[in-house]
Structure formats: structure tokens, C-alpha cells
A and B are shown apart, each in its own frame.
Chain A
């Protein structure tokens, strides 16, 4: 199968600091991949480069045959780690905005998700709690029919019930030939939905394997393995 995403020797430096150091991997269509690593490991840097928000220093990244840029933005749906939306906007305004920006935005789906998550379309972003704002971002990201979803810490601030719904949403709302790259600290919460895990440490890729294979060889959860890897 042709990979949806290929990274070859991807590197990003800030002066002498190597935020991303010679990272190479591929992701096939239909996979949910966990991007795991401690703070400052390079997770957000990698996602930003793939989303076309940050320029790499060297190496190569290809998403469905194209370098990250204007074209890939039409089929890559990115959930950033920080809000970039105007907080005076209502949910309904955001839906209109996204419909204008992205041809693949499914407004019906967005409305349905908002209803299921108990969000009113008339509420301004400013008046919402942190958890509610996270839900809004996730709704906007997952309502696109993208080929690749890049989710940077999507479940950090939401309550456990919403987390379950969000994971459900992720499982049911991506099509079979789309892939998801999801960065998180909350490994125990997401490991059941992952196909593969990528471990980053100090900018380097130290492990990329199917999660069931990891459990089979190490006889421990991905969460436990993660703690072990990052202790040493």
C-alpha cells in the first residue's frame, strides 16, 4: 500500500538545539498512530511541520505525494496545541468560517457532534470553559473528510465522559483510507484505539511499532513501556 505519510531524515534545529533530529517513518492509510514522548520531545514540532505551519531545516516530508504546503492543507486536518480561533465567535460562526475555508468540511456532521457533546451553537467561544473549547476544536477538526488528521493533545482538558465520546468520535468518524497521527501524554486513555506507536525522545525517533506487537514482546501495556523507556 502507498503510505499516506512519509518522513525521511526530517530535522528541525533552533541554533544548536535539535528539536527534531533525523526522524524517518511512514504511515499507511487506515492507521491510528500514537505520537508519544515527554515534554519537549519534538511531538508538536513534528506535527507543525506536517501541518505546514513550520519550515523544516532539512530532510523530507510527503503527504499523499506532496510536500506540506498550501495543497496538502486541503486534505490534512490539523488540531493545534493552542487555540487559534477568535474568541468572540460563536460556534455557528466557526461552522460558517470552516465551510468557507475547507471544501471537505461537513457541517451536518459538525452540528450533530456539537449536539451530542452538549454545545450550543449560540455560545461564544469566550464564554466556554477550557474543556468545552477543546471539544469545539475537536469538532472542527474531525468534521472534515481529510486524508490525514494531525491531533496535538486532543483530550488533555476534557472530562472522562467527554473523553470516551471523543475517542468514539475519532474511531467512527475517520474513513478507512484516512490516517490519524495523535500526540498525547495520556497513553493509558488512548492505547486501546491505536494501531501503532511512535516514541520520540529528545527529537529522535526511538521506537515505531504496532502496539499489539509491543504488548506481545514486552508483556506490558504501552503506558508501562513508555514509563520504562523514558526513565532510562
Chain B
């Protein structure tokens, strides 16, 4: 995985986001085994404690699970992944709508813009 960080926000939150993106986009597959905390921390260039914190957070949200001796895996619960994918998409759209509102563009204008762009693409 490629990691990028913005130092103005907590690193563990950004790790969570990037793992979540990788899982919902399919870059990390359901049931896939993760590297050890240390190796992941090294790959991302972050502190192992921070990586540990992010992984615990993702376990709490149900995207990862730990098998005591075998290691840490991506959840096999596809429903869960789909749910989080939709929730993430919803949040991004909300953010987009907010930005458009700030530009003074209403929902009708957005729809026009979208259909116009679709035509251009095809």
C-alpha cells in the first residue's frame, strides 16, 4: 500500500481512513492476512504504537479481526464492508454538497452539471 499523511491531523485517524479505503475499494480483500504491526509501521513510516492504535480502532469497527495465534485479518463479512462503503460514499457526497452550497450552486444546477459531464464523457 502507498501511504500519505497530512501532519495537521492525527496520524492514527489517517491510517484508519486509508485502511478503510483499501478495504472498500478491494485493494485489500476479505479474509486477507495483514502484515505484523511492526512491518506495517515500517512500511508506512509511522510509530508502531500509532499503527497499533489504528488497527485496534478498525477491529472495534469490525473491519478487522484478530485470531489469537494466526494474526490479523480483513473481515470476511461482505455485508459489513458494503455497509461501510455506502456510509463512506454518503459522507463524501455530503461533503461535496456542502462545498457546492458554499459556491452558491443549488441541487438543480448540480444535476445539470453532472448530466452535462456525462454527455461529454460518452
Interfacial residues, chain A to chain B (CB-CB below 8 A): 30-32, 164, 167-168, 171-172, 176, 188, 191-195, 211-213, 215-216, 219-224
Contacts and interface: CB of A to CB of B under 8 A. Distances in A.
B45 A167 contact: yes
B41 A212 contact: no
B9 to A, nearest CB: 6
A212 B7 contact: no
A168 to B, nearest CB: 6
A212 B11 CA distance: 6
Given A171-B41, A171-B42, A172-B42, A222 B7 contact: yes
A167 B47 CA distance: 10
A32 B42 contact: no
B10 A212 contact: yes
Contact of B47 (A32, A188, A213): A32
Contacts of A211: 11
Interface of B: 5, 7-13, 38, 41-42, 45-50, 53
A82 B52 CA distance: 35
B8 A193 contact: no
A164 B7 contact: no
A220 B47 contact: no
Contact of A193 (B10, B12, B38, B45): B45
Closest 9 CB pairs of A and B: A221-B7, A212-B10, A215-B10, A193-B47, A220-B8, A221-B8, A216-B10, A192-B46, A195-B49
A161 to B, nearest CB: 13
Nearest to B3: A192
Contacts, number: 56
Contacts of B10: 212-213, 215-216
A195 B47 contact: yes
A216 B45 CA distance: 20
Nearest to B12: A212
Nearest to B5: A192
Contacts of A224: 7-8
A14 to B, nearest CB: 35
A171 B48 contact: yes
Contact of B7 (A31, A168, A171, A215): A215
Given A171-B41, A212-B12, A193 B46 contact: yes
A151 B5 CA distance: 25
Contacts of B38: 171-172
B45 A192 contact: yes
A188 B6 CA distance: 11
Contacts of A193: 45-47
Q: Which has the most chain A C-beta neighbours within 10 Å: B8, B12, B53?
A: B8
A221 B10 CA distance: 9
B107 to A, nearest CB: 30
B45 A168 contact: yes
A96 B49 CA distance: 34
